[in-house]
Amino acid sequence: GRYCDGIAIRHVDWGIGNRYMNLVADASPAPVFNMQCEYYHPFQILADLMTIMEKKGRNLKRKKVVMSWAYAESYQKPMSIPNSMTLQFPRFGMDYVLAYPEEFKLPEETIAQGKEFARQNGGGFEIVHDMDEAFKDADVIYPKSWGPWMVTTDPKEAEAIIKKYTNWITDGRRMALAKEDAIFMHPLPADRGVEVTNEVMDGPNSVIYDEAENKMHICASVYALTMS
C-alpha cells in the first residue's frame, strides 16, 4: 500500500478470495478494489446497471430483469455476479427474477436482503426454477453460469450436478419469450453454443459490447473518486 495509489485484486477461490481482499484492505493505506471475489463483483454490476439505464432509461421501476443460471462446461464459476445483482438491482425498484435449478441457490442472507430492498423500493422479487417461465415478457435477459456452491465445493460432485442441466441455454426460442425490445446481457467471456447461442450473442438484442465498454468507464469513475 505504500508503493502505489491503489490495489486492484481479483481472487475468486471459494472461502479465500473475499477474506484475502479484506485482510489486504485492513493493512493497506491505499484503497483496495474488489475486481471480483467468490461472492461479489461490484464493478461488473455497476457497469450492468449503467448499460440498462442507457437502454431502458434511468427510471427502472417495474422493468422485468431476469438473472438466469446458464449451463457452462469450462469450470465451476463463482456466484459473484448473481449474488451482487441480487443485492443491487432490487434497490432500483425493478421486477427482479432469479432463475436457477434447485442446486444453484444463493446464500440465504443475500436473498433476504434482496427481498427487503425490493419491498423498500416498490419492486418485485421472484425466484423460479424454470428458464422459460423466467424469460416471459422480460425487459432484460442476463444468463450466467455459477457453481452449486451452497450444495457442494467438491469439483467432481459439482460437475455431475452441472451436467444435469445442459438445456439451460439462451437461444432464439427463449429470447422470443421476452419482450420484442428486450436486451441480452453477459459479462463475457461466454461459452458460445453452451451458455448462449451465436444467434443471440451477435443478434440485434445483444448489448454485450456496450456493457463491456461501460465497465471501463465505471472503473475509471471509481478510481477518480477514490484516488484523485
pLDDT, tens digit, 9 for 90 and up, residues 80-110 = 999 999 999 999 999 999 999 999 999 999 9
Kindly state the cell numbers that stand for 209.
Answer: 459490447
Give the pLDDT of residue 228: 81
pLDDT digits (tens, 9 = 90+) for 144-171: 999 999 999 999 999 999 999 999 999 9
Q: Are 155 and 130 a contacting pair, CB within 8 Å?
A: no
Q: For a pLDDT cut of 70, what percent of the chain falls above it?
A: 100
How many whole angstroms separate alpha carbon 22 and alpha carbon 25? 5
| Least trusted range by pLDDT, from 70-74, 166-170, 194-198, 210-214 | 70-74
Give the pLDDT of residue 12: 97
pLDDT tier at 182 (50, 70, 90 boundaries)?
very high
pLDDT digits (tens, 9 = 90+) for 114-148: 999 999 999 999 999 999 999 999 999 999 999 99
Give the pLDDT of residue 213: 98
pTM score, whole prediction: 0.95
Q: Inform me whether the pLDDT recorded for 33 exceeds 80.
A: yes
Q: Inform me whether the pLDDT recorded for 220 exceeds 80.
A: yes
In the numeric block, the cell 464493478 is attached to: 43
